[in-house]
């Protein structure tokens, strides 16, 4: 049977295959800068350069705050030198490798052409002021303003992503484009990932700001900066919320203009988005009516926005809903134990310590603290019966209170195993044609990312699925009734059997075989005749 060799096309799991005997410049270009070479370091370099640009911006903002700048000016300078060094190396590298770039290699002078390209000019502007200040005394404010231009370097990543997005969304409506940008879809591409990263960045920044705002000395110094930061964050999150509500009708199951939007607004992720911006608006509109500073703490709910970008919470929800009956039973036993313990504690200790075991509700606090093995010690039994009961209940508590934790932990592991098994089955199905195409690879990679599988693990799964697929195609290992169900398999199996009988005939002693078969009558004359025919000793009778 002819089998197609399984292959993986255009997958990020593949290793770069760059011949080492190439000229150095070509080799370097393919390894470091070529956007078309799979498995090279281009994406890695772009990612870290982008991170460095963002950190540069943060540093620039921080430098404007005298309280921070005066204290850490040496560190700021060191970071600036480091950044300029990296950006300079990047610029020189791109300049050196320009003759290998598809865009410039056809030009008369590729390096000059590159140096005059918009991206190269931006790269130059990002580092030039640093070197210029050595020769020309530049105003510090002007220098900082020029450093701000480093943000333009992000265009090197943004522009291609935007072009890809435009290409993928050609002929689609504005709302569909917005949907592709904010919701995961096959049309989103890299720009959608950037949008997600941008939101994640602002969630982290705003949560850090809320945490530091609670430190009085920091809040006193940076009050205005925190206000600006919060206003920007709320602006971004409000825009994101509006875009999601506006474009959700493009999602399956939300087609109705009003009903779909209400459905989206009622979804847990939208409620979280809404709660993330609500404190700001409440404080803005109602500040003159009441003291709403307590609402600021709820800005930490923005952290929940990150649940959209991780599959771990989905897995946890599945685990809880799957194990809910057992968890409920365990909670019931815990509740029973707490009530019993509290009642007995009240019974034995109330007379001895009326102030501490004043009533059963107060005893419940002691019971929970004892059963959960926390043991603050602010309330403790002093009567012999009370102490005896505490010993028994504390020992019981260790077991009973540990049940939910153990349940959740084992169920979580189990759920992960199930999900990985599902991924393996999907891979198995995808490999039915022997090929993993681009769409299938993308799907697998997304799922693998959700399950936090490393590249190595995904490759192992692919190999395993491929082997299983090959095993399935090996007819001989299938049970007889499955072979019989398929005529092609039956014929194939029949041929294999005949060939095996022929092999037997070649390998065995023919004379001995004949004598045993005849003398001991182990074979009927027909069976013996068939044997001879298969061996070719006798002509096949029609």
Partner 1 sequence: MGYTTYQRGTIEEASKRNGEAWLKWLSESGKNRHEPGFFPVTCAAQSPPAKQVWADCFESITTPEGPLGKLTNPFSGGRLQRVVKCDPQDRTLAGSLVFDKYTPTPPGSAVPTLLSALADSDNIGEKIQIRLSVCSKGANVIRIGELEF
Q: Give the residues lining the site for partner 1 (CB under 8 A).
A: 216, 220, 223-224, 227-228, 230-232, 234-235, 280-281, 284, 287-288, 291, 293
> In the complex, what is the shortest distance from the CB of residue 228 to partner 1, in angstroms, rounded to a whole number?
6
Q: Which is nearer to partner 1, 101 or 230 (CB)?
A: 230
- Residue that the structure tokens 């941008």 belong to: 198
Closest distance between partner 1 and the C-beta of residue 289, in Å?
Answer: 10
Compute CA distances 328 → 66, 77, 141, 408, whole Å: 56, 58, 63, 12
C-beta of 210 vs 461, nearer to partner 1: 210
What one-character-per-residue DSSP string does 334-401 give? HHHHHHHHHHHHHHHHTTT-TTTS-SHHHHHHHHHHHHTT----SS---SHHHHHHHHHHHHHHHHHH
Residue ranges of E strands in 118-231? none
Q: How far apart are CA 94 and CA 111, in angstroms?
A: 9
| CA-angle at 370, arms to 366 and 374, nearest 5° | 110
Q: Which DSSP symbol is given to 46? A: H
Q: Which lies closer to partner 1 via its Cβ, residue 283 or residue 419?
A: 283
Contact 205, 228 (CB under 8 A): no
CB of 229 to partner 1, least distance (A): 10
Report CA torsion sign: 212, 218, 223, 229: negative
CB of 199 to partner 1, least distance (A): 18
Q: Which is nearer to partner 1, 277 or 448 (CB)?
A: 277
* Closer to partner 1 by Cβ: residue 229 or 427: 229
Sort 14 into a burial class: Cβ within 10 Å, 0-12 / 13-18 / 19+.
middle
Tell me whether residue 165 or residue 226 sits nearer to partner 1 (CB atom).
226
Residues 6+ apart with CB under 8 A from 386: 345, 348, 349, 352
Query: What backbone torsions phi and psi does residue 7 show, to the nearest 5 degrees?
Result: -135, 155
Q: Is the dihedral of CA 195, 197, 200, 204 positive or negative?
A: negative
Whichever of 239 and 382 has its CB closer to partner 1, that residue is 239
Distance CA 251, CA 273 (A): 18
> CB-wise, 131 or 281, nearer to partner 1?
281
Residue 176 near residue 169 (C-beta atoms within 8 A): yes
C-beta of 91 vs 237, nearer to partner 1: 237
494 closest CA partner among 476, 474, 469: 476
Measure Cα distances from 16 to 12, 34, 360 in Å.
Answer: 9, 11, 70
Helix (H, G, I), strand (E, B) or coil at 7: strand
CB 234 to partner 1: min, Å: 7
Q: What share of the chain is helix, strand, coil (3-state, %, to 5)?
A: 75, 0, 25
Least CB distance to partner 1 at residue 64 (A): 15
Q: Least distance (Å) from partner 1 to the CB of residue 218?
A: 14
> CB-wise, 233 or 319, nearer to partner 1?
233
In angstroms, what is the minimal distance from the CB of 275 to partner 1? Answer: 18
Q: Provide the H-helix boundaries in 64-139.
A: 66-97, 110-115, 118-135
């Amino acid at each position: 049977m002819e089998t197609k060799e399984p292959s993986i096309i255009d997958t990020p799991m593949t290793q770069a295959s760059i011949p080492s005997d190439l000229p150095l410049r070509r080799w370097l270009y393919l390894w470091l800068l070529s956007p078309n070479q799979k498995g090279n370091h281009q994406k890695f370099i772009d990612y870290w350069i982008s991170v460095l640009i963002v950190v540069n911006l943060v540093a620039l903002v921080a430098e404007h705050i005298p309280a921070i700048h005066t204290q850490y000016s040496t560190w700021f300078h060191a970071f600036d030198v480091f950044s300029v060094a990296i950006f300079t190396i990047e610029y020189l590298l791109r300049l050196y490798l320009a003759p290998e770039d598809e865009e410039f290699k056809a030009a008369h002078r590729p390096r000059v052409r590159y140096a005059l390209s918009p991206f190269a000019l931006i790269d130059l502007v990002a580092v030039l002021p640093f070197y210029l200040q050595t020769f020309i005394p530049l105003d510090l404010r002007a220098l900082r303003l020029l450093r701000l231009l480093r943000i333009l370097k992000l265009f090197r990543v943004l522009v291609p992503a935007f072009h890809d997005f435009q290409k993928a969304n050609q002929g689609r409506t504005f709302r569909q484009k917005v949907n592709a940008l904010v919701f995961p879809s096959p049309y989103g591409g890299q720009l959608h990932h950037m949008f997600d990263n941008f939101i994640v960045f602002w969630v982290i920044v705003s949560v850090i700001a809320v945490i530091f705002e609670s430190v009085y000395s920091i809040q006193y110094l940076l009050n205005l900066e925190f206000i600006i930061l919060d206003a920007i964050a709320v602006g971004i999150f409000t825009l994101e919320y509006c875009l999601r509500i506006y474009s959700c009708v493009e999602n399956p199951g939300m087609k109705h203009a009003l009903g779909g939007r209400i459905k989206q607004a009622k979804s847990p992720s939208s409620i979280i988005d809404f709660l993330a911006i609500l404190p700001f608006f409440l404080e803005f509109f109602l500040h003159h009516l009441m003291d709403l500073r307590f609402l600021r703490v709820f800005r930490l709910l923005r952290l929940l926005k990150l649940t959209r970008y991780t599959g771990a919470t989905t897995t946890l929800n599945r685990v809880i809903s799957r194990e809910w009956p057992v968890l409920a039973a365990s909670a019931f036993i815990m509740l029973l134990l707490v009530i019993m313990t509290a009642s007995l504690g009240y019974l034995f200790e109330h007379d001895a310590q009326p102030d501490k075991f004043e009533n059963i509700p107060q005893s419940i606090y002691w019971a929970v603290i004892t059963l959960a093995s926390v043991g603050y010690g602010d309330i403790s039994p002093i009567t012999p019966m009370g102490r005896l009961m505490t010993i028994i209940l504390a020992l019981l508590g260790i077991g009973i209170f540990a049940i939910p934790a153990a349940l959740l932990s084992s169920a979580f592991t189990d759920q992960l195993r199930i999900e990985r098994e599902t991924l393996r089955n999907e891979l198995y199905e995808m490999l039915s044609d022997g090929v993993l195409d681009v769409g299938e690879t993308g799907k697998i990679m997304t799922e693998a990312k959700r399950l936090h599988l490393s590249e190595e693990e995904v490759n192992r799964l692919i190999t395993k699925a491929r082997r299983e697929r090959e095993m399935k195609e090996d007819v001989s290992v299938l049970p007889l009734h499955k072979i019989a169900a398929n005529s092609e398999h039956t014929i194939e199996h029949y041929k294999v059997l005949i060939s095996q009988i022929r092999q037997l005939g070649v390998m065995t002693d023919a004379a001995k075989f004949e004598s045993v078969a005849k003398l001991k009558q182990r074979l009927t004359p027909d069976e013996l005749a068939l044997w001879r025919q298969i061996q070719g000793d006798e002509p096949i009778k029609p």
